[in-house]
């Protein structure tokens, strides 16, 4: 089934998110396309059936063939919180909840921007902040989400580490419904992003808490134990006897 704005809207329960939807067959990157638009309204959504230059964090590319969901949502300041780490965490939680609603799978968040199913990556998230020229104020945040939905033959380098929803369950889920459910969750979750309930929802889905991880920073790598997620979306780790909090954008972890 094609991604189609009317079919997405059929499942939407939102006020703003998805009010304006642009569905493209192919594009370099939905994040880049969204950022090229003028006068962006809160909740504008761009989707593509495939991307030719999908982008991931830290300048990595994101493999984006037919069969996946590639979507970018504009979120403006009055409508959402602007701690970039928390927005990414919120998007990750929404993707988990949407997959849980439509399947019997148990997705997990690998801090900070990946969703895993049965030990393999099924979704990546790239949030980008757009500033107003001259004032330097935040204009909006682009929440970019890529989900492997249909069973695909992955390139050799991705085979051991990536999966698709339909590789992990029998149920043939609708991409339009999944997109709508992600928006439904996201609009709700952003309202309670600073609450204990939000943090608890994130913690229960976090991969690797209590386990040894490898942290990679600009200055090198070190071993640590993942302990908890804090209220800003940071990852609290223990290195020997010292506790420190990792913030997004600076580090990555391997579990």
Name the minimum Å distance from CB 57 to ligand BTN: 4
Name the minimum Å distance from CB 132 to ligand BTN: 22
Give me the residues that bind ligand BTN (CB under 6 A), please: 29-31, 51, 54-57, 60, 62, 70-72, 113, 124-126, 144-146
Nearer to ligand BTN, 35 or 205 (CB): 35
Residue with CB nearest ligand BTN? 124
Closest CA to 155 of 64, 53, 25: 64
Nearer to ligand BTN, 27 or 202 (CB): 27
Neighbours of 225 (CB within 10 A): 16
Q: What is the DSSP letter of 52?
A: S
For helices 84-102 and 175-191, the axis angle rounded to 10 degrees is 130
* Cβ–Cβ < 8 Å for 52, 33: no
Contacts of 199 (CB under 8 A, 6+ apart): 229, 231
Nearer to ligand BTN, 18 or 146 (CB): 146
Nearer to ligand BTN, 67 or 225 (CB): 67
Q: How far apart are CA 66 and CA 152, in angstroms?
A: 9
Name the minimum Å distance from CB 238 to ligand BTN: 26
Name the minimum Å distance from CB 121 to ligand BTN: 7
């Amino acid at each position: 089934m094609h991604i189609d704005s009317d079919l997405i809207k059929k499942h939407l329960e939102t006020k703003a998110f998805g009010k304006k939807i642009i569905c493209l067959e192919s594009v370099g990157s939905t994040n880049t396309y969204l950022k090229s638009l003028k006068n962006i309204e809160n909740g504008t959504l761009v989707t593509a059936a495939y991307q030719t230059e999908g982008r991931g964090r830290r300048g990595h590319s994101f493999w984006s063939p037919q069969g996946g969901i590639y979507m970018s949502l504009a979120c403006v300041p009055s409508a959402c919180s602007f701690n970039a780490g928390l927005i990414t965490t919120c998007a990750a939680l929404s993707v988990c909840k949407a997959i849980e609603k439509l399947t019997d799978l148990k997705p997990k968040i690998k801090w900070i921007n990946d969703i895993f199913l049965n030990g393999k990556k099924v979704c990546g998230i790239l949030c980008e902040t757009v500033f107003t020229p001259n004032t330097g104020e935040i204009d909006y945040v682009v929440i970019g989400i890529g989900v492997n939905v249909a069973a695909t033959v992955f390139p050799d380098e991705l085979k051991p580490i990536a999966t698709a929803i339909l590789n992990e369950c029998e149920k043939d889920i609708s991409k339009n419904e999944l997109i709508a459910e992600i928006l439904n969750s996201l609009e709700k979750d952003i309202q309670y992003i600073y609450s204990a309930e939000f943090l608890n929802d994130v913690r229960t889905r976090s991969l690797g808490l209590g386990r040894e991880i490898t942290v990679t920073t600009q200055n090198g790598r070190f071993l640590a134990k993942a302990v908890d997620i804090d209220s800003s979306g940071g990852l609290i780790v223990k290195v020997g006897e010292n506790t420190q909090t990792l913030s997004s954008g600076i580090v990555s972890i391997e579990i």
